[in-house]
Chain A
Amino acid sequence: MSRLLPLFGFLLLVGLFGFGIWWNTQHDQNEVPSPLINKPAPAFVLPLLDDPTRTVSKASLLGKPYLLNVFASWCFACGEEHPTLMAEGSQLGVMLLGYDYKDAPDDAKNWLREHGNPYRMVVADRPGRTAIDFGVYGAPESFLIDAKGVIRYKHIGPITPEVITKELKPAIAALQKESP
């Protein structure tokens, strides 16, 4: 029996490493889970992309849930995500708020003209200060914010049809259940 112990030890290690490899294929290792989930979204006041003289604030958006989608014209993965937002954005049941991150306004406008604009409104954060408050560290990122201004769900990386059916829709359904 104890002659077999080293073999068992070896098999245990193989199992551990195998689990590690499997585990790392199941999720994005670079993803940093946000500590802001189920916490109030940071207060913000940001100018509209189309009309910088007008601003949108957290307070002005209270009362209805919305999906804040961080994008930028320089962001490659946003181009991957965009067709999904164009196709399904209007059927989500929440307002889609574009958040143009560290972008030149003209580049962003051209980008939206070229690829289509799925957003009800687009706010611009050129210096990226508000994005730090949101814990944004890249684009695309998406925040589902409820009627009370609480962040309920965050997705890091492009939104795909799979993400919508598996994660976003259930999260939105949960919001609608509590405040019809």
Chain B
Amino acid sequence: MSFEQVFSLTVSGVTVGMIYALIALGYTMVYGVLEFINFAHGEVFTFGGIMAAVVLGWTGVSDAMPIWLRVVCLGGALVAAVLATVGLGLAIERLAYRPLRGRSRIIPLLAAIGVSITLQQLMILVFGPDSIIVPPSVVPAQFVTLFGSRIRVLAFIIIGVSLLLMLGLTYIVRSTRIGKAMRATSQDIEAAQMMGIETNHVIAFTFAVGSGLAAVGGLLVTMYYGSIRFDSGYIYGLKAFTAAVLGGIGNIPGAVVGSLILGLAETYGVGLNLGLLMWFFVAGLAAGLYFQLVRAPKRRLKHIREEDRTPAYEREIMRLYLLAPVYAVRVALAKRTDALMAVSARHALQLTLGNVFLAVMAIVFFLNGHAQIDPQWQNVIAFAVMMIILLFRPSGLLGEHSQEKV
């Protein structure tokens, strides 16, 4: 694999990651303020893309038009799409979600699923089941050569636009009143209400911003791949949500980080050969071993009661982490289980299993160095990455370890 190939893959990965991020931000912001997964967000994204494509179709934009006019049409379509999508998002929130606020977790989720189906089916009925294309005249077809590889200009536009929007969002969240209100509401909605914050407005604003970003994502995706379908939202929504969870749901930078990781993972996964992918597992294994043999025992040692603290006991805890399975069996068989030992044994066993898995994967990939993963498995890679990370860090990479209030 040449450097140019890897670079080109990296740019692709980042591009698709940015698109996921635009969608993931919607999921994560809504979850932040409401602790609720807006299942219908994927359909909102699709709607934005379809609206943009349809409006572009109405403008009759063609190669005959001068470039500035085409840009105007594109801008107009974007504005129309964003407005329509924001309207849709607000309507959904008001009609389907607000009546259910405060109910048990599963109820709003079910409503969201219902809304998602309804939207998808409406889009089929109104726009038809076939792909909707964007007129090629608005899609920049040029390439630039960077570090020896040919990259689409559109990729840079997508990355640039997304970065701009994210910076804008960061500014809003950090420095404006409504942004502060959003942060307050995500921390503790009741306290925010008691401080006089109009939480209904904050929530509506959150939905609006999320929907707007999704609309932009929808347009960009349609331009990048040439078309969009009623069911595009399903897979994009799912992956974007995966990315949000990966980064720590409710965490805005986390959504971006998670999206980039996911985009790169699925692009590298089918683009690089196994010999190169192996290094990811090796890195993971190194981190895992470090954690198992150094950090975890150190943390565990702090829990030893003073009167029990003897060098022998400390050594036994360290050995537990080194030879986990053996000790786990011994501890399980012992009549008097020292609570600390039991917990440590279980923990050590989990870590060992994790590291064994990573080692096995690394070896398998090493032995098949020249092979490549078939593109049809691309989605599976995304999901697998999420499931694995959640296994080891249930609150996501940048997620907060939020404790239940008892």
Q: Do A and B come from one complex?
A: no
Which residues of A approach B to under 8 Å, CB–CB? none
Residues of chain B having any CB pair with chain A under 8 Å: none
